[in-house]
Amino acid sequence: MNYRTRKGFVPYLFVAPNTIIFALFVLLPMLYGLGFSLFDGNFTTGLGHFIGLGHYQELLHDSAFIHALLNTLWYVGAVVVLVVMLSLALALMVRETTLATSIARVGFYLPVILSPVVVGVAWRWMFGSELGIINALLTMRGGSPISWLTDPNWARVLVTLASVWSMTGFYMVLFIGGLNTIPTDMYEAAEVDGATPAQQFWKITVPLLVPTTLLVTILATINAFKAFEIILVLTSGGPGDSTKLLVQNIYETAFDKSNPSYASAQSVVLFIILMLLTFVQTRIARED
């Protein structure tokens, strides 16, 4: 092997471990899931019979799946908008490094390192209808308890807020990184020209933060689509199925209803939706 060949081969060696792990633990199961969705098998029978797109046709009439999909779209929309706005606002507030902002950064980041199960349990203790602290305080002060988790609308709001609270700190850090890449002399020049802080924000900060905003939007969208643990602990998808998202529906279809091949078809649909959204978002960024 001559030097040039060896040199050309080396980069592949560097990426080989990750590629092998990705292929073994992500790509192969994905392909298996795709194949499995075309059969009618379950855990005890294995693959079963080939039914082609039968499961996909069934999905079109499956009210539980459609309901979970609509819930997911609603949840993703609300979470992504709130997360982007709040994390940017927090980043702007703590972008300067002082003792106070450092402490604040730690405080805002703290929910990120908590396990989603802990977040769910903590919010449940606060907002539980019978044993929750907030309702106990309301009752002590002569008020009426609020059906936080037993009213579908309140439950949707709480699930969204708990998720936003648990992830905003992470995206705040990304925005701080983005803000630090904007040269300070641009703000100084704008100030000399008489630009107000609002004008500086809209004319300098926002345009130069587009790549970071796009990254945050893509990551938040993917994470929101995959939301599972917090909701499971906080509401179990209830009341009824008002906070049941696609991932929980997939889980229940596979394990509670013992129908893993049908659950695989739902996973494929979720994968296609995520791919499309990511594609659209990157196209928008490229055009910008």
Partner 1 sequence: MKRFAAMFVTLALASTAQAKTDLQVVWFTEAPTEQAIFDKYVQMYEKANPDINVQVTYVPFQQLTQKLQLMVAGKTPPDVARVVTANIAELDPVALNLSKFTDGNAFANQFLSSQVPYIKKGSRVIGAPLDVTANGLFYNKDCFAQAKVTVPTNPSRPWTWEQWRSALDKVTKNSKCRFGLSFDYTTYRFSTLVYEAGGRYIDPSGKKMAIDSPQSLRAVDFFAGLVKDGLIPKSQWLSGEDPSSLFKSGLSAMYMSGNWNLTQMSQIKNFQWGVAPLPKDKIRSTVPGGKFVMGFKDSKNTAEAAKFIQWITSKDINIAFSKDNMTLSARKDAKGIKYGTFDDEIAIYQSDLGITPSYVGKDWSNPAMAKMNTFIRDQIVKVLLGQQTSKQALEAISAEGNKNLK
Q: How far is CA 68 from CA 62, 65, 153, 237, 266, in A?
A: 10, 5, 15, 10, 11
Q: Which two tokens stand for residue 179?
A: 């803000």
Beta bridge partners of residue 50, listed in sequence order: 39
Binding status of residue 157 toward partner 1 by CB under 8 A: no
Q: Which of 34, 114, 229, 236 binds partner 1 (CB under 8 A)?
A: 236
| The one segment of 73-81, 239-247, 269-277, 278-286 that binds partner 1 by CB under 8 A | 239-247
Q: Which of 109, 239, 271, 274 binds partner 1 (CB under 8 A)?
A: 239
Binding status of residue 40 toward partner 1 by CB under 8 A: no
Q: Which of 114, 138, 150, 218 binds partner 1 (CB under 8 A)?
A: 150
Binding status of residue 255 toward partner 1 by CB under 8 A: yes
Binding status of residue 5 toward partner 1 by CB under 8 A: no
Binding status of residue 101 toward partner 1 by CB under 8 A: no
Distance, in Å, from the CA atom of 20 to the CA atom of 158, rounded to the nearest integer, reads 41
Binding status of residue 44 toward partner 1 by CB under 8 A: yes
Q: Are 261 and 39 contacting, i.e. CB atoms less than 8 angstroms apart?
A: yes
Q: Which of 240, 275, 279, 280 binds partner 1 (CB under 8 A)?
A: 240
Q: How far is CA 43 from CA 14, 36, 258, in A?
A: 38, 11, 7
Q: Maximum distance among all alpha carbons in the chain? A: 85
Least distance CB 249 / partner 1 (angstroms): 11
234 closest CA partner among 172, 133, 162, 171: 162
Q: Are 124 and 132 contacting, i.e. CB atoms less than 8 angstroms apart?
A: yes
| The one segment of 69-77, 123-131, 173-181, 265-273 that binds partner 1 by CB under 8 A | 123-131
Sites of contact with partner 1 (CB under 8 A): 43-46, 128-131, 147, 149-150, 152, 155, 235-236, 238-241, 252, 255-260
